[in-house]
Structure 1
Amino acid sequence: MNSLLTALITKRIVATVSALLVVAIGCGAGIWQLGRAETKMALAANLQARQQMPILNANKGPWSLEEARERRMIARGQYIPEAAIWLDNRPRPIPPVGSNNAQSGFYLMMPLKLEGGGEVLWVNRGWAPRNNENRETLPPVQTSNTVVSVEGIVFAHPGKVYELGGGKNAVEKDKPRIEQNFDLATESKLHSWAQAPFILREVEVGSDDGLLREWPPLTSGVDRHYAYAFQWFALAFAGFVFWLVTGLRQYKRQGFANGDQG
């Protein structure tokens, strides 16, 4: 047994250290992927629990972000379409069945002036596809010019994408804009109005306005994390098996060379 251990480890220091690194990296990455999956599951469970709470009414605020985060909310007011922001490079939330390609488009962020007060609530009204021939051509969307009721889920922001450069060009506050990201504080300073410290992501209510609101669940991607974890654990196992098999072969060759043939 001692001679076997010597042949596997002592005489193969480089191979042993390499195998240990592969096993450590594989197991560590696999455990991290499992942790990511568990985190998403916990977030989804928390979101579902908060959505079971009573629906908030934006018109009976003001509400803080801590009070309203991830809860259902209804709001009644009138849209301000001239201040709309089109968030670019947003893939379609749920691709069509049978499609593996993410279709690029916009999220439409539009301020809603709440009825009975002067506060503004930014609403993520949904997703619309980009014009592939001219990205400056905005999708046709219908917006009511009367008071509307909106229902959705409260979030801190609509999600961020990578943006090159930190500088912002001068903007005209009374014209729709195409932006990469959305910042509540920036919009509050630009328009000099009182606004809620969160955004409302509108849910599908059957309105035919040219926007899609099929939002993916927070648990989307969990299966992918499990698959990645399996691949990392498989890599660690393969590294160990390769180290063991090559060591045993070397041990047997040395035994034959020394005349130990049984």
Structure 2
Amino acid sequence: MKRINSLFDALVAKRIVATVSALLVIVIGSTAGIWQLGRAQTKIALAANLLARQQMPILSANAGPWTLEEAAERRMIARGHYIPEAAIWLDNRPRPIPAGGAGNTAQAGFYLMMPFRLEGRDEVLWINRGWVPRNNEQRESLPPIETPVGIVNIEGLVFASPGKVYALGSEDVVVDPNKPRIAQNFDLEREAALHHWKQDPFILRLEESGISDGLLREWAPLTTGVDRHYAYAFQWFALAFAGFLFWLISGLRQYWRQSSVNKDLG
């Protein structure tokens, strides 16, 4: 019992500051590691849900109307024609890199959002046609792309929005809805009010590949970054373990030194 008390004194009682510091490192490292594991599991669950919804029967936008809850993350086909004069170029979008693909995710560019008038319906469906790099020397110039003329059939996945980026300030209050424009983010309700037309409550992200229109559509899977979360979790847990080891080893060394002194005095 005396040895246990001496060990407790050497590890804890005489090292309050070191003990509290070690506890903080352990708690912070463990909490951050658990959070990173949770982020990874969330992405895996989202990807599994997306895959399951993609395997459901393909919807037809022309057979709508569909609600967002009915159509979200499902495959959809549409027939109609593009309205290129009302296109919106969403700025500061990183290049999508597919699983196992090569490329520079730091390369910024545009998502091209373009309205699509559905055949046989007085309704518009907004299409994310893909990604294209930006001209860094002439930042206001729009990249050259090709837009099909006339009635076409398209296919893609339904999403609530193309995603948001941080924007300084607000978007321009006064815009010409009949001219292509550059914007930071996309708001379905705002576009409906600007154009005074009826539109679907979601967007369609094209999944077509091999089309030479100047746009990239090799979308990154939702599980992108899972390995990075696992790596971050390992680093945080390693930090917590290292903090514990440092506290334990330094305390034991102090205990052994004190024991040796006591033996010499005895």
Considering the TM-score relative to the shorter chain, is it more than 0.5?
A: yes
Whether the 8 Å CA contact 1:22–1:235 is kept in 2: the answer is yes
Deviation string for 1:84-106 (max 9, x for gaps)? 00000011101896545521110
1:57 paired residue among 56, 60, 65: 60
Q: In 2, Cα distance between the equivalents of 1:157 and 1:244?
A: 51
2:88 aligned with 1:85, yes or no?
Answer: yes
How far apart in 1 are the matches of 2:37 and 2:18? 28
In structure 2, relative to structure 1, the CA distance for the partners of 1:47 and 1:99 (3 Å cut) is closer
Matches of 1:112 and 1:98 in 2, distance apart?
Answer: 31
Amino acid at match of 2:197: W
Larger mean Cα displacement after TM superposition, 159-168 or 95-104: 95-104
SS in 1 for 2:14: helix
Q: Specify which of 190, 194, 199 is matched with residue 190 of structure 1.
A: 194
Name the stretch that deviates more: 251-260 or 26-35: 251-260
Give the drift of 1:10. 1.0
Q: Is the 8 A contact 2:97 2:105 kept in 1?
A: no
Specify which of 220, 231, 239 is matched with residue 243 of structure 2: 239
Shift of 1:142: 0.4
Among 22, 46, 56, the alignment partner of 2:49 is 46
Report the count of equivalent residues.
262
- 2:151 maps to which of 147, 156, 161: 147
Counterpart CA distance in 2 for 1:166 and 1:146 is 35
Q: Deviations over 1:96-148 (max 9, x none)?
A: 96545521110000000000011000000000110121011111110112111
Structure 1 stretches of 4+ moved >3 Å: 95-101, 259-262
Distance 1:98 1:136, change over 3 A: same
Residue 108 of structure 2 aligns to which amino acid in structure 1? S
Q: Is 1:141–1:211's contact at 8 Å kept on the other side of the alignment?
A: yes
Which of 110, 113, 127 lines up with 1:109 in the alignment? Answer: 113
Structure 1 length as normaliser, TM-score? 0.96
What TM-score results when the alignment is normalised by the length of structure 2? 0.95
Matched, 1:8 2:11: yes
Distance 1:99 1:84 in 2: 26
Task: For residue 248 of structure 1, report the CA deviation from its aligned partner.
Answer: 1.1
Change in Cα spacing, 1:150 to 1:65, as seen in structure 2 (3 Å) is same
Shift in CA distance, 261/227, structure 1 to aligned 2, threshold 3 Å? farther
Structure 1 segments unaligned to the other structure (5+ residues): none
Equivalent position amino acid for 2:57 in 1: P
Read off the aligned partner of 2:215 and give its amino acid letter: L
Q: What is the identity, as a one-letter code, of the residue corresponding to 1:172?
A: D
Q: How far apart, CA to CA, are the structure 2 residues paired with 1:203 and 1:87?
A: 18
Q: Which residue of 2 aligns with 1:254?
A: 258
Q: State how far apart, in whole Å, the 1-side matches of 2:235 and 2:224 are.
A: 19
CA RMSD of aligned residues (A): 1.6
Shift of 1:260: 4.8
Deviation larger for 205-214 or 217-226? 205-214
- The answer to whether the Cα contact below 8 Å between 1:255 and 1:261 also exists between their aligned partners in 2 is no
In the alignment, is the contact (CA less than 8 A) between 2:110 and 2:134 conserved in 1?
Answer: yes
Residue 202, structure 1, aligned to residue 184, structure 2:
no
**Change in CA separation of 1:57 and 1:97 when aligned onto 2, cut-off 3 Å:** closer
Q: 1:191 to 1:160 in 2, by over 3 A?
A: same
